[in-house]
Amino acid sequence: MQFKEKPNGVTRMSTEFLAKNLLKVTGEVISIEGSIDEWKDNWTTFVTDTGDTIMVNGFSWGYGGEGPRGLFDAAKALGFTQLTREAIAKIPMSSPWKMDKYPLVYKKCPCSSCS
């Protein structure tokens, strides 16, 4: 399932849209992605482990205002503990980005034939 908010740029409305549609998606949100469209609008996409997505337009990054605070609050509520307000403020405003909830961890195989 895919849910995309109508562009509005209002943090409160995006928070409400996200909360309402989290009840409709399946799986756990495992990734948050930020992008900029051709009209220079910020989009934050929440991706579940089943491929469902929720796109909102009222969260932002690259400064310390209401939009970044909304992004931080949503990420924290969804268990993205490694994302800080300071990190959100430092993401360049015009750059796409992605945050995974569970970073890939590589472990060497313990068997002697793989060493």
**Per-residue pLDDT tens over the stretch 3-27:** 999 999 999 999 999 999 999 999 9
Q: Choose between 39 and 25: higher pLDDT.
A: 25
Residue 108, in any domain of the structure: no
Residue 112 has pLDDT above 70, yes or no: no
Strands 53-56 and 2-4: parallel
Domain holding 39, by residue range, is 2-100
Average pLDDT, integer, range 29-47: 91
In a domain, 111, yes or no: no
pLDDT of residue 83: 81
With respect to residue 110, please indicate whether it lies within any of the assigned structural domains: no
Whether pLDDT at 115 is above 60: no
> What's the whole-model pTM score?
0.86
Total number of domains in the chain: 1
pLDDT per residue over 63-86, tens digit each? 989 999 999 999 999 999 888 899
| In a domain? residue 82 | yes
Q: How many CB atoms lie within 10 A of CB 74?
A: 24
Residue 114 covered by a domain: no
Q: Write down the pLDDT at residue 109.
A: 58
pLDDT of residue 17: 98
Rounded-to-integer distance, Cα 92 and Cα 80, Å: 20
